[in-house]
Amino acid sequence: MFVGRDEELRALRGAIEVKAPRIAVVYGRRRIGKTSLIRQAIGKSAALFVEGLENQTTQAQIQSFRSQVSRQLRRKMPEARSWEEALMGLDAVLGKRPMTLVLDEFQWLANYRQELVSTLKMVWEGYLSRVPGRCLILCGSIASFMTTKVVKSSAFYGRTDLVIHLQGFQLAETGRMLKGRGFQEVLDAQCFTGGVPKYLELLTGAPSITLGMEREAFRTDGYFVEEYDRIFVSHFGENGEFPRLVRALAESPYGLNRRDLAAKAEVAEGGLLSQRLYDLEAAGFISSHTPFDKGAGSRLIRYYLSDPWMSFYHAFLRSRLRLIRSGVKKDLFVSLRQSGAFRSWMGRAFELVCLRHQAVIARELGFEAVDYEAGPWFRSPRKGLEGVQIDLAFDRADGVITLCEMKRQTAPVGRAIIAEVERKAEALRQAHPKRTVQPVLIVDGPVSKEVEAFGYFFRVLQAGELVG
């Protein structure tokens, strides 16, 4: 079943259908649906798909390339000992046929090196692209390679016609994927999976989202039991610093600065740390933020674990893997759902969902046409001033700062929330005395009549409105 991705489909189909040669790059984490998107865009048009092999030598990649091309085109590829020979051989067997050429898991084909990138550019421009109706699609799951070694490389810089960074579904698409489910289950699934299509697919046939997670994450043969290790090995090999950094951020849900993160993860605070953090952020596993009133180079930068599934794994699976693999205890997740730790985690997971729906929030609040910057805002404690953490604020070009407070709870949100938000609003007024601070409450759950009657909030948004 293919749902959503309407904007990406239109853009990719446009690149495929035009007569002039086009180069498109599609990247995103594993399980995100890149290959499905490409196949959907191509439809019944002529296409050649070649997929790289994980952890294989250059010669093995070349031989697999030849084998896949020969099988699909039903013409034997000539022998090749280098990528130049292999690509020139491809040009020979293709002849004058218009076709979309898809190189999937491109980072594996290239063995993370520049050689294939440079050679491909030369052969594409000199030979393969000379036939009208040709489109080259480079697809990869290692974002740092696809951005730095392909899109921004000297070979392809300025030559790519379309770049798509595929991310998890938003709530509207998750609801379409989980057709027939109530909003509460759709929101739960979004919190657990981050809208990763493969993960949602695993839950579609379950009696409930809770029982689906029980089966796939808390049973010996569940898909999620080994998924964390699969992701890290495919993205980062056996380098132990990456999982230590993620674990440190998982234990600090509201973020850490660079120094504290390095200390907590027991990683040297040097140049390699910058590369590690870039790789994790490019993969979409973590995010970095500075307060909107500080420059991008501010030392106040904080790093957060922003991948919902990884957060779920560290909160509930990692410490229970031995118990899960033993198969001794049943209904682990059903029991966990009743705990205070789970309710606390779900509160933070809901905040992450809201952070992913900034454009929807702006539209619902009526300022989508206004330029804005959005994200967390924080102030470290100092003499005479207490520390403040605001998880989402919109710094708007019309002189307004929209402060969003996000709550997920079963009991009605009471009047205490007003004092809590006003303390944060006052900190913003002190920092920006000429700006209007507009408090907004985004809530999944009931709100007391007292809060509604007080009229403090500019708007109370219910979570269901984030579907758009």
Contact 189, 209 (CB under 8 A): yes
Strands 47-51 and 135-140, bridge-based pairing:
unpaired
Give me the residues paired with residue 394 across strands: 374, 402
- Does the structure show a pLDDT above 80 at 277? yes
Q: Which DSSP symbol is given to 413?
A: B
- Does the structure show a pLDDT above 80 at 353? yes
Confidence of residue 328 (pLDDT cuts 50, 70, 90): confident
Q: What is the Cα–Cα distance from 406 to 354, expressed in whole angstroms?
A: 8
Q: What is the Cα–Cα distance from 415 to 419, expressed in whole angstroms?
A: 8
Confidence of residue 294 (pLDDT cuts 50, 70, 90): confident
Amino acid in position 164: I
Three-state SS at 152: coil
Q: What is the pLDDT of residue 233?
A: 80
Please provide residue 331's backbone torsions phi and psi, each rounded to the nearest 5 degrees. 55, 40
Confidence of residue 330 (pLDDT cuts 50, 70, 90): confident
How many other CB atoms are there within 10 angstroms of residue 320's CB atom?
A: 16
Token readout for 3 is: 């749902």
Contact 65, 109 (CB under 8 A): yes
Q: What is the pLDDT of residue 396?
A: 96
Amino acid in position 145: F
Q: What is the pLDDT of residue 304?
A: 94
Q: What is the pLDDT of residues 410-462, one digit of tens each?
A: 899 999 999 999 999 999 999 999 999 999 999 999 999 999 999 999 999 99
Q: What is the pLDDT of residue 185?
A: 97
Which residue in 331, 343, 360 sits closest to 465, CA to CA? Answer: 360
Confidence of residue 48 (pLDDT cuts 50, 70, 90): very high
- Does the structure show a pLDDT above 80 at 227? yes
Which residue in 230, 192, 208 sits closest to 316, CA to CA? Answer: 192
Q: What is the pLDDT of residues 161-216, one digit of tens each?
A: 999 999 999 999 999 999 999 999 999 999 999 999 999 999 999 999 999 999 99
Sheet containing strand 388-396, strands side by side: 372-379, 388-396, 400-408, 436-444, 459-462
Chain-centroid distance, C-alpha 190? 12
What percent of the chain lies above the pLDDT cut of 90? Answer: 79
Confidence of residue 123 (pLDDT cuts 50, 70, 90): very high
Chain-centroid distance, C-alpha 163? 15
Mean pLDDT calculated for residue range 216-237: 89
Q: What is the Cα–Cα distance from 436 to 254, expressed in whole angstroms?
A: 26
Q: What is the Cα–Cα distance from 21 to 329, expressed in whole angstroms?
A: 58
Token readout for 145 is: 């390679």
Please report, to the nearest 10 degrees, the dihedral formed by the alpha carbons of residues 78, 84, 87, 92 taken in order.
Answer: -50
Q: What is the pLDDT of residues 137-156, one digit of tens each?
A: 999 998 889 999 999 998 88
Q: What is the pLDDT of residue 55?
A: 86
Q: What is the pLDDT of residues 373-415, one digit of tens each?
A: 998 898 877 777 788 899 999 999 999 999 999 999 889 999 9
Q: What is the pLDDT of residue 155?
A: 87
The secondary structure element, H or E, covering residue 419 is helix 416-431
Mean pLDDT of the chain: 93
Confidence of residue 298 (pLDDT cuts 50, 70, 90): confident
Q: What is the Cα–Cα distance from 108 to 368, expressed in whole angstroms?
A: 40
What percent of the chain lies above the pLDDT cut of 70? Answer: 100
Three-state SS at 149: helix
Taken in order of first residue, the domains within the chain and their CATH numbers are 6-165 (3.40.50.300), 173-351 (1.10.10.10), 357-467 (3.40.1350.10)
Three-state SS at 46: coil
Contact 192, 336 (CB under 8 A): no
Contact 107, 140 (CB under 8 A): yes
Token readout for 384 is: 């005479």
Q: What is the pLDDT of residues 17-40, one digit of tens each?
A: 988 999 999 999 888 999 999 999
Please provide residue 246's backbone torsions phi and psi, each rounded to the nearest 5 degrees. -65, -40
Mean pLDDT calculated for residue range 120-148: 93
Q: What is the pLDDT of residue 124?
A: 96
Which residue in 127, 71, 138 sits closest to 96, CA to CA? Answer: 127
Three-state SS at 157: coil
Which residue in 364, 372, 374 sits closest to 461, CA to CA? Answer: 364
Confidence of residue 120 (pLDDT cuts 50, 70, 90): very high
Contact 402, 438 (CB under 8 A): yes
- Higher pLDDT residue, 295 or 361? 361
Q: What is the pLDDT of residue 13?
A: 95
Q: What is the pLDDT of residues 229-252, one digit of tens each?
A: 888 887 787 788 999 999 999 999
Mean pLDDT calculated for residue range 211-227: 94
pTM of the model: 0.90
Q: What is the Cα–Cα distance from 210 to 195, expressed in whole angstroms?
A: 16
Three-state SS at 410: coil
